[in-house]
Chain A
């Protein structure tokens, strides 16, 4: 073995005189993901930070949410189910889920169209459209209700009065969820390579085929994420409905309003029972988003 001046050790199990015997060792090892097991790399300061952050997070979020679940289960399964089986509650649930689903479908279609127009079209005023999209996020929900009342309420210049009807519920939900699909699809559409579409075109694909086979599949994860966010938001909406929908039982009362009524009547157990169902939906959406994101990340 040729040994340089600085080589102190580098002992090897097999003498290099017979390279055939260690031929197996020379095979390239496959580089696995460096961190397969959760392993802490926290320094002392970071550990302290994590402790404080987790304490605050627990006090603010985890413990109160756990209190809901505990209160909901306090009186046993049958009372829990009774709350959900109550006719008025059930009407609120079907209305909320139905309108939220409807709004989500509209968002998937119109939101994708808006994102497309913002990315691929060019016309004067596009920048303004881009800013207006964010207004629903920037406005307080109670103001959103008031704003919608001005066009669709009693003194409407359109001559319609949808206040206190199901249309009002739809409008409110559509307003507050408008940006979700647009803002998740837009960046993905922006980053879609023109090459891919050109490659498809050079292979003989027509416009419709490219849209269906190339563009839409690339957008699907973003559309799914946007739809999930907008469904979750619609299910849980409260503020924009207060002034607009009238909260009429069996007609325009949504789940959030029902929960608030329970709270105001001092019926915390029922409020918690219904709230726990909404929490479960929220958690399901979080899990769905996590799965979608991981799938996208894997695809790279």
Chain B
């Protein structure tokens, strides 16, 4: 295990940020800490990096008890949401910083900086100031800077949060490919489930200071531990007394056994999919299907339909949940 977190608690005043968190992250993996803002995931990352201290609990990095180590002794790389570039230093100087602190020979530093700038495609900007770079370039520079010290783990706090959608997508792919190349144990924080599902080997879902579930992206999507995880990883709707995904509902225009009868109240076409609202005796249900399927059924407002979960659909009990509109 590369990172072991045991019984971690952290409060700010009377706000509980983390409550008895236990996580083990294996070496070489790319892990996402996923959850809503204010749920404690950034706090967990900062405690692993030593930038915040826990009230109780322990952190072990690569087998070294690190709970009370200051950040500069942990050998972790940290990438900040707002880049935290050293504004008064050139790109090359930024990347060289950690090596200069470690008093490496000049030639070695120059070589390493060169290599890293090539890796993040910033070689031609080596002598510019960060102010002359775009947001995506700055974040790549910050990544190179963190990698320069050959950290045992790389921690990224909402690394793409401040970038626009297109650059975010590019950097996401690029991070995945970079990780496959460099193989350093990487943990990144995100509130974007799509980002987590796409990039991570493993996802830790954190909400209200607790770990809700840990697993591979497919596992979380297909076998959510509870309604929160299910709701956070994708759209859900309620059918009778279960929660399920709107595209996991079978619709028929004739009565079938075990199906719930309802009446179509609204049909909305969004691109290739059609979103159908159905009024049932137990409330409103949202069904999503392809355009072709909707056309073949001939659905229209006021049509009578019968709904039931598709065979093999993921469902969780709906009682008491407040997550469905």
Contact = CB atoms under 8 A, between A and B. Distances in A.
Consider the complex of A and B and state whether they touch directly, i.e. have CB atoms less than 8 Å apart.
Answer: yes
Interface of A: 1-12, 16, 19-21, 23, 25-29, 31-37
A9 B5 CA distance: 10
B24 interface: yes
B226 interface: yes
Given A8-B24, A34-B15, A20 B219 contact: no
A235 to B, nearest CB: 41
Interface in B292-325: 316-317, 319-322
Interface of B: 6-7, 12-16, 20-26, 31, 38, 202, 204, 208, 210-216, 219-220, 223-228, 316-317, 319-322
Contacts of B14: 32, 36
B216 A4 contact: yes
Contacts of A27: 322
A31 B213 contact: no
B211 A35 contact: no
A2 B219 contact: yes
Contact of A10 (B210, B220, B223, B228): B210
B223 A6 contact: no
A33 B320 CA distance: 30
A31 B43 CA distance: 14
A96 to B, nearest CB: 46
Contacts of B38: 31
The interface residues of chain A, by DSSP majority, are classed as loop
Contacts of B23: 6-8
18 contacts: A2-B213, A4-B213, A4-B216, A6-B24, A6-B25, A6-B26, A6-B214, A7-B213, A9-B22, A12-B210, A16-B225, A23-B321, A26-B322, A29-B15, A29-B16, A29-B208, A34-B12, A35-B12
B191 to A, nearest CB: 14
Nearest to A25: B208
A10 B219 CA distance: 17
Contact of B22 (A10, A29, A37): A10
Best-surrounded residue of A4, A9, A11, A35 (most CB of chain B within 10 A): A4
A2 B215 contact: yes
Contact of B21 (A2, A10, A20): A10
A27 B16 CA distance: 13
B201 to A, nearest CB: 10
A23 B7 CA distance: 24
Contact of A23 (B202, B215, B320): B320
Nearest to A9: B22
A6 B20 contact: no
Contacts of B216: 4
B214 A4 contact: yes
Given A2-B225, A10-B20, A36-B13, 7 more contacts: A4-B220, A6-B24, A6-B25, A8-B24, A12-B210, A16-B226, A19-B227
Contacts of A35: 12-13
A2 B225 CA distance: 5
A11 B288 CA distance: 35
Given A26-B228, A26-B322, A11 B223 contact: no
Contacts of B322: 23, 26-27
A16 B22 CA distance: 18
A20 B214 CA distance: 22
Contacts of B7: 9
